[in-house]
Structure 1
Amino acid sequence: MISTLFKNRWLQQWREFSRYLKYVFNDHAIIAFFFLFGALLFAYQQLLQTIPSVWWTQGGLLLILFLTLLLFKTPASFVKSADAVFFLGDEAPLQRLWQQATIYSMLINGTIQGLLIIIFWPLLMKLFDFNFFILLLITLFMIIAKMMLTYVQARQTAAFNTDQLTLINWTAVSELENQRLATIYAFFNLFIDVPGLQSTIKPHPYLERLRSLWPNYRKDTLLPIYLTTFIRKSEYLNLWVRMLIFGLLLIPFTNGYLLYGLLALLQYLFIAQILPLAGSYRRLVFDTVIPITLSNRQKAFHSFLLPLSLMMLIIWFILIVITHNFDINQGIGMLSLVIFTFLLVFLYSDRIIANMFKRRIKHASTK
């Protein structure tokens, strides 16, 4: 029997998610997802027709299948930070909540893993000439492996001693649940401001040393603040890494105008999602005391954003040269992508920042 506590926590969480999902899957997003899905299906069809069955394509596919085990493996617990104190006299309901949430997470993560493997069935049949029975065995094995990984992570998090689970570390369980929810809300925050969302601040010493090497680091007023925030705030750093990896995954499997169109879309999504950083410090005291003009802010943001965008393009172009035959069409595509990036950095970002601070002045005048 499902406990009342698990049912209430599950319903409460999904009611909250549904509030944000309607902003994610709005009319414009559905149209964009429709065209993107069609483009990916076309690219997948082209890949199946052209990919050679050699050792490096087979090894790459096996590596991708292994990496899918690292996705969606965090277990849900529905445990809140105050539960350890509230259920101090009787932990039985909280233990049942954790057990049922672990089983729920294993089933959900296993189902997602199965769907991911089914997507790769045509490639497995193309590269390895597997029959349906072998594909079914591989899928079942990957599902069981994902469920076991989810269980192991839930048990290791909850146990003070990894050898036995006599006492449950409710603090660690609630912290993992908070991290899981923060990841989900960070995705929603790309489409709408989620109240109370707190980003992880983490120093990266190896990246901190690169700040002084950044172009115009000591000339532009706000550039050190922008760069330090990008390095230490996981929300922005992970965004750059995520877009870079998405592009690297697209390059071996797509070509032509479709490839450069998708890379341009990733570049736009990166710049559009990092633009709120330009106004992150507008409410601080120095923003009104020190004479920082709109042009100073835009110039500093150019110096911050352009190297990041160009580094992403350089890494993408290196992989394009390695995996594709370089010809005049590839050169035109690369040049077009560079011009598009410059337009985003110098024109699109200027317009958004100007509108951002125009609204600020308008709201301030009405108070």
Structure 2
Amino acid sequence: MEQLFRKRRLAFQKRQLKYLPYVFNDHFVLVLMFLLGYLLYQYSQLLAHFPKNRLAVILVLISLVQFLLGFGQPATYLEASDSHYLLVKEEEVLLEIKKSGKDSFILWGTFQTLCLVLLAPIFLKLGLSVVSIGIVILLLLVVKWFIQDYKINQLKTPTGLNWKLAIEKERHRQQKILTFYSLFTNVKGITSGFKERPYLTGLLSKLPQKSTLFWTHLYARAFLRSADYLGLFIRLLLLSSLALWFIQPPYLAAILASLCNYLLLFQLLALYHHFDYHYLTSLYPVTPTLKKKNLLLFLRGISLVLWLVEMLLSHSLLNIIIITCVFLLLNLFYLPYKLKNIID
């Protein structure tokens, strides 16, 4: 049993290693360097000019500590078929799950400790001694242990293992990881749900009822009702808006906002294959090129919405120039090029 779960763990790690070069490409590494430099500069400025009203700093620290305590899900590597084929080995599976809980505590407990050590200068500014900081870190580590233990106990029942919950938790954990990688490249194995969202149906009725917009209607429905696309749009729009509103200097804020726009459009290119499973779409009397044209039209519409929101939040002319230039590059060159590659 131990060999089986080790094999699954290594297979998933190998799969992640395949995607890492796409994540840490030259452009993204450059952006990360700028962002890291900005964060370190702001951190040094905060320590040099520590605010007299410390309530805001304390509230941010409390929120960050709460996030660190809850961060990290035990990796059980259970699969859907295990509830049938491994049922007779339930006790051994439970032992492996307990081991995964310990491994999860070591990994995320170490991560939590490192983050708190990096925040130690702020704790010193708040009046805590070095000994007090050490005690706080140890106490939070104990709390982390109980939280990870609780997450493992959630998967158990009085009679054994809650197979359905354990398998669903692991599926959700892996899907979140793969969804992150899908921001940078095409990832196989991602599943998505469906929500009707009747409060958004009115937006669909605004589209002209024309046969030349057949695929546009389908793309709009998939975008508004899929569990992935709309949520991704809201999250990245929120990130770009926060960057433009809070981050200085302006060029860095504009670069981060443009990066969010690029990631969103790249992810939405997957709409081209969203209805491939539905064979009835191939029976409708439309030309094959219409699918490409409608997706390009739809993505340009989404891009225009992003651009309008970001123009309203831009505080400087430099922001406007950078975001507009990237907007034109994405819509006039990048999207047509990517769509041509998808089709060819």
TM-score, normalised relative to structure 1: 0.76
Q: CA deviation at 1:294?
A: 5.2
Paired residue for 1:201? 193
Contact in 2 for aligned 1:75/1:153 (Cα 8 Å):
yes
Flag the 1:289–1:331 CA change in 2: closer, same or farther, 3 A.
same
* 1:212 to 2:202 alignment: yes
Rounded to whole Å, the distance in 2 between the matches of 1:215 and 1:259 is: 39
Contact in 2 for aligned 1:68/1:116 (Cα 8 Å):
no
Contact in 1 for aligned 2:251/2:322 (Cα 8 Å):
no
Flag the 1:213–1:253 CA change in 2: closer, same or farther, 3 A.
closer
Q: CA deviation at 1:181?
A: 0.9
* 1:354 to 2:339 alignment: no
Structure 1 counterpart SS, 2:159: strand
Structure 2: tracts of 5 or more residues without a match = none
Contact in 2 for aligned 1:217/1:224 (Cα 8 Å):
yes
Paired residue for 2:160? 167
Flag the 1:35–1:176 CA change in 2: closer, same or farther, 3 A.
same
Paired residue for 1:327? none
Paired residue for 2:142? 144
Q: CA deviation at 1:67?
A: 4.1
Flag the 1:70–1:133 CA change in 2: closer, same or farther, 3 A.
closer
* 1:183 to 2:191 alignment: no
Structure 1: tracts of 5 or more residues without a match = 321-329
Flag the 1:21–1:36 CA change in 2: closer, same or farther, 3 A.
same
Rounded to whole Å, the distance in 1 between the matches of 2:233 and 2:3 is: 42
Structure 2 counterpart SS, 1:52: coil
Flag the 1:91–1:31 CA change in 2: closer, same or farther, 3 A.
same
Paired residue for 1:289? 285
Paired residue for 1:35? 34
Q: Deviations over 1:11-45 (max 9, x none)?
A: 33323322222333345544443333223322332
Rounded to whole Å, the distance in 2 between the matches of 1:4 and 1:281 is: 37
* 1:49 to 2:39 alignment: no
Paired residue for 2:128? 130
Structure 2 counterpart SS, 1:103: helix
* 1:154 to 2:140 alignment: no
Contact in 2 for aligned 1:204/1:232 (Cα 8 Å):
yes
Rounded to whole Å, the distance in 1 between the matches of 2:331 and 2:140 is: 44
TM-score, normalised relative to structure 2: 0.80
Letter in 1 for 2:249: G
Paired residue for 2:220? 227
Q: CA deviation at 1:179?
A: 1.0
Flag the 1:213–1:103 CA change in 2: closer, same or farther, 3 A.
same
Flag the 1:90–1:267 CA change in 2: closer, same or farther, 3 A.
closer
Flag the 1:117–1:272 CA change in 2: closer, same or farther, 3 A.
farther
Contact in 2 for aligned 1:201/1:234 (Cα 8 Å):
yes
Contact in 2 for aligned 1:75/1:154 (Cα 8 Å):
yes
Identity %: 23
Paired residue for 2:272? 279
Flag the 1:249–1:294 CA change in 2: closer, same or farther, 3 A.
closer
> In terms of mean alpha carbon deviation, does 96-105 or 80-89 score higher?
80-89
Q: CA deviation at 1:69?
A: 3.4
Matches within 5 A, 1:338-349: 339-340=324-325, 343-344=326-327, 347-349=329-331
Q: CA deviation at 1:78?
A: 1.9
Matches within 5 A, 1:68-147: 68-69=67-68, 72-126=71-125, 128-147=126-145
Q: Of 232, 237, 257, which aligns to 1:239?
A: 232
Q: CA deviation at 1:94?
A: 1.2
Structure 2 counterpart SS, 1:234: coil
Flag the 1:302–1:44 CA change in 2: closer, same or farther, 3 A.
same
Paired residue for 1:324? none
Structure 2 counterpart SS, 1:91: helix
Letter in 1 for 2:324: I
Structure 1 counterpart SS, 2:88: coil
* 1:332 to 2:325 alignment: no
Rounded to whole Å, the distance in 1 between the matches of 2:135 and 2:323 is: 46
Contact in 1 for aligned 2:22/2:184 (Cα 8 Å):
yes
Flag the 1:282–1:87 CA change in 2: closer, same or farther, 3 A.
closer
Paired residue for 1:302? 300
Flag the 1:333–1:78 CA change in 2: closer, same or farther, 3 A.
same
Contact in 2 for aligned 1:23/1:192 (Cα 8 Å):
yes
Letter in 1 for 2:199: R
Contact in 1 for aligned 2:78/2:170 (Cα 8 Å):
yes
Flag the 1:267–1:202 CA change in 2: closer, same or farther, 3 A.
same
Q: CA deviation at 1:100?
A: 0.7
